[in-house]
A and B are shown apart, each in its own frame.
Chain A
């Protein structure tokens, strides 16, 4: 019988959980080592219905606008593919995004940054990937913003991504940064990842081919979820 299992996670390519440069982690990061167990239920996962996704859910320039007024800032396309580690495109993956507005302000009561909210921008969007694993959002360029860490520090411009693939064990929450932003290299959250290549993989690349066609700046951000492999497993009899 063929049994599915998840490819072991490579923690060298992941952020350090216990990373005091990011102050909030000090009293939240678990201190004990994770316990390794074989994946089982986690091979399966929720599949989200196309019908739950609204037509404008991936257009943040319109999904919260009043009387078709545009949010402030310049429009950008953020697009790419979701695949697994074996380069198989994942169709129907749910991508949810959230971001600050052009002034670096979130539409959230806990955001204490003294910057203006934009009445036409929620910063909230979602999409399901197509059969080739591709996705696309139309949004505006988020601003960088200050936040309390070791004193006041600045987050590079970023968009938060939450992704569900086919299995609960593939679940990923991450952030996309923007090519050329000088704040990336001094951000403790980025630097919680030691591996340079892994760090770079979170930077959306300016995609001029796409930008020229649509007259809007475009960024490409490809996402790789854990691989699900099929292995042959001999059915053992009870008591053997």
Chain B
């Protein structure tokens, strides 16, 4: 057993700044022939496109401006609630002209909580950018799923939190909209986990 007094401090965060694409997605900014592919271009290899869902949206700042210099990263299980080490991770940025991001993935299955309760399907989302001194963490749940019995959502619903901000709205078959609000009336719920 290691002594808890010897626990080291976690290295502090610093902002990712406006040029994170150089290190994390060089091909996106035309630094080609360095890496064959940018990491996380597709969350799952070998999945049938017909069974995939699209999650699209924008990240808005406190002025209501949709940002295009943020990096989003997602981590999720597959449709059966299974985790894989080399699948389930995606990394993407909003389109420069439409300011919208688009994630094409499988709808995650239910995953078990520590006490054996099923958590509603969700995708872990992290957001890094200029102006954010720390990476933000949130979750994407899905409209139409049983959100009432989810152990996390029912745990936090009494805290007057904006649970709506965690739910992707279904706009048509297999297409969901998930907008992130960094500030304001609709400020998204961010997690410390």
Tell me the A residues contacting B by CB distance below 8 Å: 3, 5-7, 9-10, 13-17, 19, 22, 24-32, 34-42, 44-49, 52, 54, 57, 63-64, 83-87, 94, 96-98, 106-111, 122-126, 160, 162, 168-169, 171-175, 189-190, 192-193, 195, 197-199, 201-202, 223-227, 233, 235-236, 238
Contact = CB atoms under 8 A, between A and B. Distances in A.
29 contacts: A7-B10, A19-B133, A25-B133, A27-B61, A29-B182, A30-B188, A30-B190, A34-B192, A38-B114, A40-B119, A41-B122, A42-B193, A46-B40, A46-B75, A46-B88, A46-B89, A98-B23, A108-B18, A108-B29, A110-B19, A123-B22, A123-B23, A125-B23, A126-B35, A169-B193, A173-B135, A224-B10, A235-B116, A236-B115
A124 to B, nearest CB: 5
Contact of B2 (A49, A86, A174): A86
Contact of A27 (B21, B63, B114, B193): B63
Contact of A98 (B20, B61, B115): B20
A24 B124 contact: no
A108 B130 CA distance: 14
B21 A15 contact: no
A103 B7 CA distance: 40
Interface stretch (B99-107, B154-162, B170-178): B154-162
Contacts of B69: 110
Contacts of A108: 18-19, 21-22, 29
Interface of B: 2, 6-24, 26, 29, 31, 34-37, 39-40, 61-63, 65, 67, 69, 73, 75-77, 83, 85-86, 88-89, 111, 113-116, 119, 122, 124, 126, 128-137, 152, 155-156, 159, 161, 182-183, 187-193
B90 to A, nearest CB: 9
A80 B102 CA distance: 36
A42 B66 CA distance: 27
Contacts of B77: 41
Contacts of A172: 10-11, 13, 135
A13 B12 contact: yes
A163 to B, nearest CB: 8
Chain A interface main SS type: loop
A225 B11 contact: yes
Given A25-B131, A64-B34, A34 B190 contact: yes
A32 B190 CA distance: 8
Nearest to A221: B11
A26 B193 contact: no
A175 B2 CA distance: 29
Contacts of A236: 115-116
A41 B13 CA distance: 22
Nearest to A64: B34
A48 B35 CA distance: 14
B82 to A, nearest CB: 11
A25 B132 contact: yes
B10 to A, nearest CB: 5
Given A28-B183, A41-B124, A46-B85, A10 B133 contact: no
Highest count of chain A CB atoms <10 Å: which of B11, B19, B26? B11
